[in-house]
Chains A and B, each alone.
Chain A
Amino acid sequence: MKEYKSTGNKDTRSGFGAGLTELGRKNPNVVALCADLVGSLKMQDFIDENPERFFQVGIAEANMMGMAAGLTIGGKIPFAGTFANFATGRVYDQIRQSIAYSGKNVKICASHSGVTLGEDGATHQILEDLGLMKMLPGMTVINTCDYNQTKAATLAIAEHEGPVYLRFGRPKVANFTPEDQKFEIGKAVQLYEGSDVTILATGHLVWEAIQAAVELNEKGISAEVIDIHTIKPLDEEAIINSVKKTGCVVTAEEHNFLGGLGESVARTLAENHPAPQEFVATQDTFGESGTPEQLMEKYGLNAAAIIKAAEKVLKRK
């Protein structure tokens, strides 16, 4: 069984910052906006190198989204950054009308998603953002798993014409994907080939899925693990082909089980190849304060939860 090694824990938001800095050097049309969270979004290097291409809007996210839409009129590629909660729910109507419906080339870059934001608690921990964004026609929705993938995705979305929601997080997580990877929007990445159960994971739960697959293998269960970094458009072909082989599926995400990856997978399978499915996700609840590890344990968002779900779904085959 292939061994995935982490080169050390790094935060995905720093991958975004590094990608944005690189973009600043190579694409003069890239501009950035932030609503008083430059440090949290790791945007300072871009700002230092391109002060004229950065717009500090203050604590005013609605204005930020509107300005981002306006900046595209003139050929700019705006990257608007703030916490996932304020980048989606707070400004849903602004994104809907001025960005998505208007077909504007805005990249909404959302950090601190999910419960692993930690001690700040539920007011800041959005678990509904993937659902909100994927329901908008024309919106591409990406949730990356580690530092390297987040950096690669940041570079890739600048080349993609149209609105994108890029979601990443606060805590340091294992950095295990290749540094030189090519990020293809909408193309799932198979990490393990397996025959008993398919595990479809997104975000930092991809690393947890790898740990789960190793432990399941020791128990004699062969798990196929696929990194679904793009929630929309979903790589339906990869999902259907895998589930045709294994006959059951576990989806894993740091998001409410309503509206997230799991539901997209369930719809795809219902239409093409119905199969038993278990959802590793939060169960229609708000989060709370705690360390990321404590919260992942409490809300069932780790390798242990994935193993339990895999064993359960196998019995339903």
Chain B
Amino acid sequence: MPDINELQKFATQVRRDILRQVHKVNSGHPGGSLGCTEFFTALYKVVMDYKTDFDMDGIGEDLFFLSNGHISPVYYSVLARSGFFPVEELNTFRLINSRLQGHPTTHEGLPGIRIASGSLGQGMSVAFGAAQAKKLNNDDHLVFSLHGDGELQEGQNWEAIMYAAAKNIDNIIATVDHNGQQIDGSTETVLPMGDLKAKFLAFGWDVMEIKDGNDLQQVIDGLNEAKSRTGKGKPVCILMKTVMGHGVDFMMHTHAWHGKAPNDEQLEKALAQNPETLGDY
């Protein structure tokens, strides 16, 4: 495992990438992206066993599915900085003729991405299909997925959650980004979802919690713990508390930056709070 300080630098660079991508085109979703930076860093730099020589079927490697596709800036940054495509391509985010569409897609052939997402609530079903294919292929690698908490308001998730436990899909780790925010406000004001832990438990899942999803060591430890719980007959869920907009003080603890880009001045302020660079693109 890389040194934790090196990983922190990587995460800081990812934050810079997120802010710069969104700023350049004056559109995109910085809030959730910043909040999930530690998760993506842990997943791609420490936890997942994957090949950068990208192959759609992904046999013999761990797979990841992003269900809440609007946080594409963090996904693109981490994929690029993990060797899937040139980092300079982040310059094309949301521009015409780009492989970096507003929401991730297979349509433009971007290595690292195996399903389109953006219309919410579909990723868990896809992840379960891929997990079932792994079992049929006698492939003992794992499937990871990430979901927004607000996204769980989509009913398809609960069809899938019911299915996974009933059919003992135990080669999956589904993480919920539990930041308590959605476009129109907090999840508590828009549509409270009650006790998510109790709900997953009631559906027969093995449920874990990461109390601070913006603490890199906690995320790494949590994902590793989740890995050790796979293969035991139950799907594994991680409820991961994060702060939307984490790492930029004026973007934190509000839904205001869910889908809004910083202006020039705000960008400089935000970058100054994340000064460590590995080399901007």
Is B a genuine binding partner of A?
A: yes
Chain A residues within CB distance 8 Å of chain B: 31, 52-53, 55, 57-58, 60, 62-76, 78, 93-94, 96-98, 101-104
Can you name 14 A-B pairs with beta carbons within 8 Å? A55-B167, A58-B159, A62-B121, A62-B125, A70-B125, A70-B126, A70-B130, A71-B132, A73-B114, A74-B134, A76-B133, A78-B129, A94-B122, A97-B117
- Chain A residues lying within 8 Å of B269, measured Cβ to Cβ, are none
Tally chain B residues at the interface, Cβ within 8 Å: 39
- Chain B residues lying within 8 Å of A57, measured Cβ to Cβ, are 159, 163
Is B136 in contact with A98, judged by CB distance below 8 angstroms?
no
Q: How far is the CB of B168 from chain A (nearest CB, A)?
A: 13
- Chain A residues lying within 8 Å of B115, measured Cβ to Cβ, are 69-70, 73, 98, 102, 104
- Chain A residues lying within 8 Å of B131, measured Cβ to Cβ, are 70
Since A60-B162, A62-B125, A96-B119 are in contact, a sample of 9 more A-B pairs with Cβ atoms closer than 8 Å, ordered by chain A residue number, is: A57-B159, A67-B160, A68-B129, A70-B65, A70-B125, A70-B130, A93-B119, A97-B118, A104-B115
Is A70 in contact with B127, judged by CB distance below 8 angstroms?
yes
| Top-8 shortest CB links A-B | A70-B129, A66-B125, A74-B133, A60-B159, A67-B129, A63-B159, A70-B126, A62-B156
Closest residue on chain B to residue A56 by CB atoms: B167
- Chain B residues lying within 8 Å of A63, measured Cβ to Cβ, are 125, 128, 156, 159-160, 163
- Chain A residues lying within 8 Å of B119, measured Cβ to Cβ, are 93, 96-97
What does DSSP make chain A's interface, helix, strand, loop or mixed? Answer: helix
Segment touching A, from B17-25, B56-64, B78-86, B273-281: B56-64
- Chain B residues lying within 8 Å of A60, measured Cβ to Cβ, are 159-160, 162-163
- Chain A residues lying within 8 Å of B105, measured Cβ to Cβ, are 101-102
What is the bound-complex CA distance between A31 and B121, given in angstroms?
Answer: 24
Is B125 in contact with A74, judged by CB distance below 8 angstroms?
no
Closest residue on chain A to residue B119 by CB atoms: A97
Q: How far is the CB of A33 from chain B (nearest CB, A)?
A: 9
Closest residue on chain B to residue A57 by CB atoms: B163
Is A97 in contact with B122, judged by CB distance below 8 angstroms?
yes
Closest residue on chain A to residue B114 by CB atoms: A73
Closest residue on chain B to residue A73 by CB atoms: B130
Closest residue on chain B to residue A31 by CB atoms: B136
Q: B57 is contacted by which of A68, A75, A98 (Cβ under 8 Å)? A: A75
Closest residue on chain B to residue A94 by CB atoms: B122
Closest residue on chain A to residue B139 by CB atoms: A74
- Chain B residues lying within 8 Å of A74, measured Cβ to Cβ, are 57-59, 130, 133-134, 136-137, 139
Report if A71-B160 is in contact (Cβ < 8 Å); known contacts: A97-B118, A101-B116, A102-B105: no
